[in-house]
A and B are shown apart, each in its own frame.
Chain A
């Protein structure tokens, strides 16, 4: 409880994943960008998913659903935990904490607002970011997705369906200026702080903050969650 002081978010390097790892596809993969007609930005019906929804079953206390949920989203949560944590033990604690959160909040999932995987990623990110606050220190500043802190038997990868919102996010990002796209990716995916982004991009700190705020707001709108934007005709 008694924690204080702003913790700066991460300082990750730009390591990307290029492993000679086992790749297996757990279910049909839809990776890529699809343009959505503007009239369909606000989902009126639950978003379609390639897999059967599971969170409702988890919320109702179905034991098998808990296991399926872990099978389906374990890789995503684990990958996020690895990115936010510098050591395996910490990542294991974090992954466990995230799943407890998911089970507790499964009943709040609303299929009209997002796909399940976006909901899972949202819960996981929030919990992982919040760990930084709770631990009274900055999130780890070691390499993002750098496997050096993880044993070699932990490098297997798989491909997952990343959901409709990811495609919409891609679409939204494409509409931003290259600088804005870069700043958003560095912040959200690479986990860099504002200062670090300013250094990397050589953009003024104020510009970084403006790009981030504007970019995230734009993606939020284009995910189809801003009725005001729709009324105005979309583009702002």
Chain B
């Protein structure tokens, strides 16, 4: 677990680090401050960088007093839909068909209606009424059967969330503007055996990466981060395409691209290895995969 247990600054740099950590706990940092923080954290790995955030969270919880808004069902389902590597059948539960709408039950109801109608036929004292009852019984039974059949066939199929691989295949098949680029290995020790490809749809601002040979990372030590070089933004300001982990050593991994802002004209996609949580500005020391247009 965490080894960052030091909470007292030992130098002016560390004082500045604590200043930034304190600021981060209550308000957004500027990009420059975030970069500075990333650099200072890298220089002081034994500092507990969560200490102010933890204190703020505790105060927030105390002030809240335990009362929270219930997460709406549709938001819950939306969140579960992006749970990595999870089966929707397990996560979302299986839909149990409403027993009352099963054809067999409807048929029973219809049978019951027929039975009532048949009994009514014997009522000679009021032939027209009996006839009405008889016919109405059959009508009800027929309507019930039709409704039951319609309901049976119109039941929504249990929702199954597509895996990333399936979502990728869907994007390739459906997005007319989807581009597919091969990943090239790099000189980095972790990038020498990398292969795979990347698919990106400019109109949907969506894409997936598929890797082979990218070593599994320890999320507590480092994480992979995608950078999208967008022509209008220049090479100094690549778009953060998301932080991800590879858990299967040298196996195939499919990773969704999570572009934080709109990408207008992608020119290159680069995967770097960064500190846990990713960085705002990469030093580009460990480039492990490249895909170029």
Residues of chain A having any CB pair with chain B under 8 Å: 1-9, 17, 22-24, 29-31, 61, 63-64, 66-67, 70, 74-80, 82, 92, 95-96, 99-100, 103-105, 107-114, 117-119, 121-122, 125-126, 129-130, 132-134, 139, 153-163, 165-170, 173, 184-185, 187-189, 193, 212-213, 216-217, 219-220, 223, 225-228
Main secondary structure on A side of the interface with B: helix
Q: Is the CB of B64 within 8 A of A2?
A: no
Task: Note all chain A residues with C-beta closer than 8 A to B22.
Answer: 213, 216-217
Task: Note all chain A residues with C-beta closer than 8 A to B27.
Answer: 7-9, 129, 132, 193
* Separation of A153 and B74 alpha carbons in the complex (Å): 12
Q: Is the CB of B66 within 8 A of A159?
A: yes
Q: Is the CB of A220 within 8 A of B54?
A: yes
Q: Is the CB of A66 within 8 A of B67?
A: no
Q: Is the CB of B86 within 8 A of A104?
A: no
| Contact A78/B71 with A1-B260, A126-B53 known, Cβ cut-off 8 Å | yes
Task: Note all chain B residues with C-beta closer than 8 A to A126.
Answer: 24-25, 53
Q: Is the CB of B1 within 8 A of A108?
A: yes
* Separation of A137 and B110 alpha carbons in the complex (Å): 63
Q: Is the CB of B54 within 8 A of A223?
A: yes
Q: Give 3 nearest A-B pairs by CB, closest first.
A: A74-B71, A9-B27, A75-B68
Q: Which of B60, B86, B237, B281 gathers most chain A CB within 10 Å?
A: B60
Q: Is the CB of B59 within 8 A of A184?
A: yes
Q: Is the CB of B67 within 8 A of A157?
A: yes
- Per the CB 8 Å criterion, the residue count for chain B at the interface is 71
Task: Note all chain B residues with C-beta closer than 8 A to A220.
Answer: 7, 51-52, 54-55
* Separation of A17 and B71 alpha carbons in the complex (Å): 16
Residue in chain A with minimal CB distance to B91: A67
* Separation of A159 and B34 alpha carbons in the complex (Å): 35
B96: Cβ under 8 A from any A Cβ:
no
B40: Cβ under 8 A from any A Cβ:
no
Residue in chain B with minimal CB distance to A120: B57
| Contact A63/B91 with A217-B22, A219-B55 known, Cβ cut-off 8 Å | yes
B90: Cβ under 8 A from any A Cβ:
yes
Task: Note all chain B residues with C-beta closer than 8 A to A31.
Answer: 65-66
Q: Is the CB of B67 within 8 A of A118?
A: no
B252: Cβ under 8 A from any A Cβ:
no
Q: Is the CB of A129 within 8 A of B69?
A: no
List 12 extra interface pairs beyond A1-B280, A108-B1, CB under 8 A.
A7-B27, A9-B26, A78-B70, A96-B82, A99-B82, A103-B83, A105-B277, A110-B2, A129-B24, A133-B31, A226-B7, A226-B8
Residue in chain A with minimal CB distance to B56: A188
B32: Cβ under 8 A from any A Cβ:
yes
Q: Which residues of B11-43 are within 8 A (CB) of A?
A: 22, 24-34
- Could you write out 26 A-B pairs with CB less than 8 Å apart? A4-B32, A31-B65, A63-B87, A63-B91, A66-B86, A74-B70, A75-B68, A75-B69, A75-B70, A104-B219, A108-B276, A110-B1, A114-B57, A118-B58, A121-B58, A125-B60, A126-B53, A161-B66, A163-B61, A169-B58, A169-B61, A173-B62, A188-B56, A213-B22, A219-B59, A228-B8
Task: Note all chain B residues with C-beta closer than 8 A to A125.
Answer: 25, 53, 56-57, 60
Task: Note all chain B residues with C-beta closer than 8 A to A167.
Answer: 62
